[in-house]
């Protein structure tokens, strides 16, 4: 009897995998400086137009749970190509939308592009094992880290030169280019199997009974929540409170991304030496301290872009310490359920962020200061510190019993 050998998988180029992730980050960030102007253009409150951020994140949270199992069932290539095609059509819809309601409908459909975050990592896992996969995923996710530094600046410049629709036109063209790249370069890498959705859901109660999982997941979700609240409220603060132009808001938006990159570097260098829990606690305290400082400064009447965005850059450093370690903690609670823990924790973080981003829109009205936004961000950061302290208390209790 002859042994059957599977044909080797043709690896897509690294550029292709980076592009799949980066297009989602571009769509999420490029239009942010334009939000106040979009609200005026459609004649609606900022809170309604801000749903372009919070609603987008909410749909993304659901997709994080669904797209992995769907790609296991139908393959990576058709899911990526289908998602990009829908994104391009939805982007055309945002450009032609006659009202804010129709714009938001097409904006929610655009969120399908975030499947690239998950599928690009799945493709890497299909191709290479273990530590090699971790290294390659690091290169792939670099696109996600760099785009938030560049996209808002580009969006601000485009807005001032051509109006807010220019940012969506660039997103659509970029999506079309990535679709063409994937059509020619992304071969099918899934080899059957995978964990179906039904089996994933069946494992959720195992994680739900773990205090350590909840502690790590809440630490990550609440720390990320400060950033998502910032995404929802910073365009309003920049224009209405700090009196910045759209282009200037775009330049300042690079601050948290630079901070986050620095925090990631510190995590890579010191997590093994210092320990995962202490890195998370240190990051949460940095976030809390920086945001608390900005809040006090705002209450005392200081309205400086350097203070506001500088504090947010420090928050980015803290997030860079919290998130990699909290995600590792989540997946380490039950290593055999690492994928489920990652998907569930990621969905919690994005869904929580969507809620906080929507909350900022409720409080940021004409004449408001930055204080409502900073209060939400600071409370979220402090709660993140309390979550990891809960985990540490639990571990000390188990050590005493042992």
Q: What is the 3-state secondary structure (H, E, C) of the chain?
A: CCCCCCCCCCCCCHHHHHHHHHHHHHHHHCCHHHHHHHHHHHCCCHHHHCHHHHHHHHHHHHHHHHHHHHHHHHCHHHHHHHHHHHHHHHHHHHHHCCCHHHHHHHHHHHHHHHHHHHHHHHHHHHHCCHHHHHHHHHHHHHHHHHHHHHHHHHHHHHHHHHCCHHHHHHHHHHHHHHHHHHHHHCCCCCCCCCCCHHHHHHHHHHHHCCHHHHHHHHHHHHHHHHHHHHHHHHHHHHHHHCCCCHHHHHHHCHHHHHHHHHHHHHHHHHHHHHCHHHHHHHHHHHHHHHHHHHHHHHHCCCCCHHHHHHHHHHHHHHHHHHHHHHHHHHHHHCHHHHHHHHHHHHHHHHHHHHHHHHHHHHHCCCCCCCHHHHHHHHHHHHHHHHHHHHHHHHHHHHHHHC
**19 and 143 Cβ atoms separated by less than 8 Å:** yes
Name the phi and psi angles at 369, rounded to 5. -90, -170
Question: What confidence score (pLDDT) does residue 68 get?
Answer: 67
Question: What confidence score (pLDDT) does residue 387 get?
Answer: 94
Domains of the chain: 12-185 (1.20.1250.20), 197-402 (1.20.1250.20)
Contacts of 352 (CB under 8 A, 6+ apart): 221, 222, 224, 225, 228
**Other Cβ atoms closer than 10 A to 67:** 24
Q: Which parts of the chain sit beneath pLDDT 70? A: 1-10, 68-69, 72, 121-122, 124-145, 189-201, 203-204, 331, 335-343, 367, 402
The tens digit of pLDDT for each residue in 102-120 reads 999 999 999 999 888 777 7
* CA 332, 338, 340, 342 torsion-angle sign: positive
Question: What confidence score (pLDDT) does residue 61 get?
Answer: 80
pTM of this structure: 0.74
Question: What confidence score (pLDDT) does residue 150 get?
Answer: 82
Question: What confidence score (pLDDT) does residue 3 get?
Answer: 44
**175 and 84 Cβ atoms separated by less than 8 Å:** yes
Count CA within 13 A, CB hemisphere, residue 223: 39
Q: Report the first-to-last Cα separation within the chain, whole angstroms.
A: 55
Burial 316-347 (b: 16+ CB within 10 A, else e): bbbbbbbbbbbbbbbbebbeebebbbbbbbbb
């Amino acid at each position: 009897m002859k042994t059957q050998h599977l044909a080797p998988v043709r690896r897509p180029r690294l550029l292709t995998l980076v592009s799949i992730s980066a297009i989602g980050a571009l769509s999420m960030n490029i239009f942010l400086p334009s939000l106040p102007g979009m609200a005026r253009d459609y004649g609606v409150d900022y809170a309604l137009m801000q749903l372009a951020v919070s609603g987008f994140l909410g749909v993304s949270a659901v997709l994080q749970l669904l797209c992995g199992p769907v790609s296991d069932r139908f393959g990576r290539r058709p899911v990526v190509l289908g998602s990009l095609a829908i994104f391009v059509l939805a982007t055309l819809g945002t450009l032609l939308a006659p009202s804010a309601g129709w714009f938001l409908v097409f904006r929610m459909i655009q969120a399908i592009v975030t499947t690239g975050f998950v599928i690009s990592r799945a493709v890497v896992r299909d191709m290479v094992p273990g530590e090699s996969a971790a290294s390659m995923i690091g290169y792939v996710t670099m696109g996600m880290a760099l785009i938030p530094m560049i996209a808002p600046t580009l969006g601000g410049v485009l807005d001032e030169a051509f109006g807010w629709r220019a940012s969506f036109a660039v997103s659509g063209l970029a999506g079309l280019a990535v679709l063409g790249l994937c059509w020619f370069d992304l071969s099918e890498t899934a080899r059957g199997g995978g964990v179906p959705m039904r089996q994933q859901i069946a494992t959720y109660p195992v994680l739900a009974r773990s205090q350590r999982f909840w502690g790590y997941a809440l630490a990550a979700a609440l720390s990320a929540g400060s950033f998502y609240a910032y995404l929802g409220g910073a365009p309003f603060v920049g224009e209405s409170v700090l009196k910045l132009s759209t282009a200037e808001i775009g330049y300042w938006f690079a601050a948290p991304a630079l901070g986050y990159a620095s925090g990631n570097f510190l995590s890579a260098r010191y997590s093994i030496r210092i320990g995962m829990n202490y890195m998370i606690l240190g990051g949460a305290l940095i976030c809390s301290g920086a945001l608390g400082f900005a809040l006090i400064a705002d209450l005392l009447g200081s309205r400086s872009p350097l203070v506001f965005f500088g504090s947010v850059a420090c928050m980015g450093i803290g997030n860079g310490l919290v998130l990699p370690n909290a995600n590792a903690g989540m997946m380490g609670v039950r290593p055999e359920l690492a994928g489920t823990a990652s998907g569930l924790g990621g969905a919690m973080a994005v869904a929580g962020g969507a809620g906080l981003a929507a909350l900022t829109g409720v409080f940021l009205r004409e004449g408001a200061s930055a204080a409502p936004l900073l209060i939400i961000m600071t409370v979220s950061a402090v709660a993140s510190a309390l979550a990891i302290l809960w985990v540490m208390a639990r571990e000390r209790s188990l050590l005493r019993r042992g």
